[in-house]
């Protein structure tokens, strides 16, 4: 993985905005209660959309890995997600928490992939 590797900025921004929209949906589902929450979760599952922050973070980590994002692109991407969340009206503390969970998921996936390559001599 190159230091600058990954897709162009416009692709990163478009993807980050899509992830932010999904994050807002996840937040709305978490805030709902009762039958409305159950229906919203079923709806998201039917569409293949993550239903919690942790599943969303794993999805973002997968995107970073599949796109072979280097250090610079990965940090731009996470920053774009954070900025998009703020622009969409997510409270700053919630957006920062989500950013932290995403960063942890990316870091964990990276470590697992490095260990796998080391074990298998790739």
Domain count along the chain: 1
Range of the domain at 92: 9-120
Does residue 55 fall inside a structural domain?
Answer: yes
> CA 81, 87, 93: angle at the middle one, nearest 5?
75
For residue 48, tell me if it sits in a domain. yes
Please count the CA atoms within 13 angstroms of the CA of 116 that sit on its side-chain side. Answer: 6
pLDDT at residue 122, rounded to an integer: 64
Contact 106, 113 (CB under 8 A): no
Q: Is 20 a domain residue?
A: yes
Give mean pLDDT, residues 13-34.
93
Structural domain includes residue 2? no
The predicted model scores a pTM of 0.86
Instruction: Give the pLDDT confidence of 71-106 residue by residue, as tens digits.
Output: 999 999 999 999 999 999 999 999 999 999 999 999
Decide if 1 is inside a domain.
Answer: no
Report the candidate in 2, 19, 29, 3 with the shortest Cα–Cα distance to residue 99. 19
Separation between Cα atoms, residue 6 and residue 12, nearest integer Å: 9
> Cα–Cα distance between 74 and 64 in angstroms, integer?
7
Asked, for residue 21, whether it belongs to a domain, the answer is yes
State residue 116's pLDDT score: 73
pLDDT of residue 112: 87
Q: What is the mean pLDDT of residues 2-23?
A: 90
Is residue 4 domain-resident? no
pLDDT 10s digits, 55-66: 999 999 999 999
Does a structural domain hold residue 3? no
């Amino acid at each position: 993985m190159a230091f600058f590797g990954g897709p162009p900025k416009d692709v990163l921004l478009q993807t980050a905005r899509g992830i932010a929209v999904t994050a807002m949906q996840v937040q709305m589902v978490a805030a709902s209660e009762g039958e409305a929450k159950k229906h919203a979760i079923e709806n998201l599952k039917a569409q293949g959309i993550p239903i919690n922050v942790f599943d969303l973070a794993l999805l973002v980590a997968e995107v970073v890995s599949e796109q072979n994002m280097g250090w610079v692109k990965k940090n731009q991407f996470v920053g774009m997600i954070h900025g998009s969340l703020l622009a969409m009206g997510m409270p700053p503390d919630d957006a920062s928490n989500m950013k932290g969970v995403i960063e942890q998921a990316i870091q964990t996936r990276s470590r697992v992939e490095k260990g796998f390559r080391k074990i298998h001599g790739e």
